[in-house]
């Protein structure tokens, strides 16, 4: 590939290229702000404030990349689904969205390289940034520290026989360059790439990649690269109960019928001990055509909720907190709108 004299801007959100003046991302952010979908979460310093009050259960793990499971009680499936959708689409994160490529001699094309950069999770406090809107002219020559994180990458392989024939370029080569006004973030070491070992490209002898990548604040609603989780799901809890006491041979039969050891015999009687292990196979409901009085059903008010965080947030529970705060803000907006409506009473 030939060296380029002219730097080119690439959109890191999709494989198809767009110019730097494309309004795609900015328009989306503005629309979300106008709709109240993306309220500011600045000032919410108190971790655990919302999720623990509502969920009442401490997280299983508190690492940056972790699976977090918790139980919710007195909630319905629509509420759990609402939380799932808000987490996937409306919890803001920072992600690379514009790439200024000065030189790229590698085999990975500019568009694909930009796309790969966009999918590298960026660990940064999204609440410290603002969404780009149409009113904020994106000036990447002198970017605003309120909107943009800048990363530089410059990897050159010498054209010498002693150089390796193939050099891998990993995400660790992306260096965050704090802008004037981002000194506090630098001091707190608050910005980095979540993974240092993502393979971005391969270079041969005498080849070079030099680029600047700009991360902006966005939502999973616009592109999955801004989603804070790789997976997010819920499951209604299973309730197993015995409608009559089972003792002796009947207790033994129900214990042996269950392949996941939900039942145990205590004090000579069968008891439900591990209902969470139930797979709803219904083997215990009728054993050898005998109704043992076992009731297996879904509890429609208890939910087990699980997320797998991508690492943009310092703790996975922060994702839950932000999602609930966002939903609460939307409820307040709706309440205000309804209060402002002049709705006639049909019975009047």
Residue ranges in contact with ligand SF4 by CB under 6 A:
240, 257-258, 260, 262, 278-284, 296
User: In this complex, which beta carbon is closest to ligand SF4, that of residue 282 or of residue 332?
Assistant: 282
For residue 108 the two structure tokens come to 């990975």
Provide the phi-psi class of 181: left if phi over 0, else alpha when psi is between -120 and 50, else beta. left
User: In this complex, which beta carbon is closest to ligand SF4, that of residue 196 or of residue 297?
Assistant: 297
Q: For residue 149, give the 3-state DSSP assignment.
A: strand
> Closest approach of Cβ 300 to ligand SF4, in Å?
17
Cα-Cα-Cα-Cα dihedral sign, residues 243, 248, 249, 251: positive
DSSP of 88-146: HHHS-EEEEEEEEEEEE-SSS-HHHHHHHHHTS-EE--GGGS----TTS---TTS--TT
User: In this complex, which beta carbon is closest to ligand SF4, that of residue 156 or of residue 236?
Assistant: 236
> Closest approach of Cβ 290 to ligand SF4, in Å?
14
> Closest approach of Cβ 248 to ligand SF4, in Å?
19
The Cβ of residue 139 has, within 10 Å, a number of other Cβ atoms equal to 11
Angle at 82 between CA 86 and CA 329, to 5 degrees: 60
> Closest approach of Cβ 261 to ligand SF4, in Å?
8
Strand 67-73 to 290-291 pairing: unpaired
> Closest approach of Cβ 309 to ligand SF4, in Å?
30
User: In this complex, which beta carbon is closest to ligand SF4, that of residue 49 or of residue 280?
Assistant: 280
User: In this complex, which beta carbon is closest to ligand SF4, that of residue 174 or of residue 296?
Assistant: 296
User: In this complex, which beta carbon is closest to ligand SF4, that of residue 271 or of residue 330?
Assistant: 271
> Closest approach of Cβ 57 to ligand SF4, in Å?
23
């Amino acid at each position: 590939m030939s060296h380029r004299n002219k730097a080119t801007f690439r959109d890191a959100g999709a494989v198809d290229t767009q110019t730097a003046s494309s309004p795609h991302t900015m328009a989306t952010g503005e629309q979300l702000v106008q709709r109240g979908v993306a309220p500011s979460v600045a000032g919410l310093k108190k971790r655990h404030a919302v999720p623990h009050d509502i969920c009442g259960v401490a997280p299983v793990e508190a690492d940056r990349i972790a699976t977090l499971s918790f139980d919710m009680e007195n909630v319905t499936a629509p509420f759990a689904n609402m939380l799932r959708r808000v987490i996937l689409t409306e919890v803001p994160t920072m992600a690379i969205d514009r790439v200024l490529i000065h030189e790229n001699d590698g085999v990975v094309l500019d568009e694909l390289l930009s796309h790969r950069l966009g999918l590298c999770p960026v660990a940064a406090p999204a609440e410290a940034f603002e969404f780009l809107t149409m009113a904020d002219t994106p000036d990447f020559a002198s970017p605003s520290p309120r909107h943009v994180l800048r990363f530089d990458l410059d990897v050159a392989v010498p054209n010498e026989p002693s150089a390796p024939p193939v050099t891998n370029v990993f995400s660790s080569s992306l260096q965050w360059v704090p802008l004037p006004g981002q000194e506090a973030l630098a001091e707190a070491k608050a910005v980095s790439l979540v993974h240092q070992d993502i393979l971005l490209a391969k270079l041969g002898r005498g080849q070079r990649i030099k680029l600047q990548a700009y991360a902006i604040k966005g939502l999973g609603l616009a592109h999955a690269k801004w989603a804070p989780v790789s997976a997010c799901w819920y499951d209604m809890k299973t309730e197993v109960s015995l409608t009559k006491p089972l003792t002796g041979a009947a207790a033994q039969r129900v214990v042996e019928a269950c392949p996941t050891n939900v039942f145990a015999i205590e004090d000579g009687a069968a008891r439900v001990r591990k209902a969470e292990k139930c797979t709803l196979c219904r083997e215990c409901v009728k054993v050898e055509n005998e109704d043992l009085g076992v009731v297996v059903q879904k509890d429609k008010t208890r939910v087990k909720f699980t997320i797998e965080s991508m690492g943009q947030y310092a703790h996975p529970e922060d994702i839950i907190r932000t999602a609930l705060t966002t939903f609460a803000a939307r409820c307040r907006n709706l309440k205000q709108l309804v209060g402002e409506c002049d709705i006639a009473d049909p019975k009047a």
